[in-house]
Amino acid sequence: RNNLFKESKDEDRAEHIDFLLWLLKDCGVQDIFGIVDVHSHFDVPRGFHMVTKIEDRNASLSCLRTQPAQDKDLKPHELCGHKFVYTPGQGWYPYEFRL
């Protein structure tokens, strides 16, 4: 969740995104890394994380379904961090996973 003051959220946003895109290209990783605009459609309850499952897979199309899953039902050895967020002082951590 973005805790910045409302008037600060979009300040210099386009400039930051342009810089990050340039950085990815300059490092030659633009085909394997991307920028995700962290947002939410609803509050994820405490004790849950967003998990994406690949439900239907064939050569040309995969169906992905992302939904909240209870932490107690998740098996860490089956999860793969999919989207990460950086928090100063805490480092990188996944906020969305894939099974």
Q: Beta-carbon neighbour count of residue 90 at 10 Å?
A: 8
Number of domains, the chain: 2
Q: Do both 55 and 89 map to the same domain?
A: yes
pLDDT for residue 92: 84
Predicted confidence band at 29 (pLDDT cuts at 50, 70, 90)?
very high
% residues pLDDT > 70 (the chain): 82
Label each residue of 34-93 as H, E or C.
Answer: CCCCCCCCCCCCCCEEEEEEEEEECCCCEEEEEEEEEHHHCCHHHCEEEEEEEECCCEEE
Q: What is the pTM of this model?
A: 0.54
Q: Do both 85 and 48 map to the same domain?
A: yes
Which residues constitute the domain of residue 50? 41-99
Q: Do both 51 and 99 map to the same domain?
A: yes
Predicted confidence band at 59 (pLDDT cuts at 50, 70, 90)?
low
Q: Do both 78 and 53 map to the same domain?
A: yes
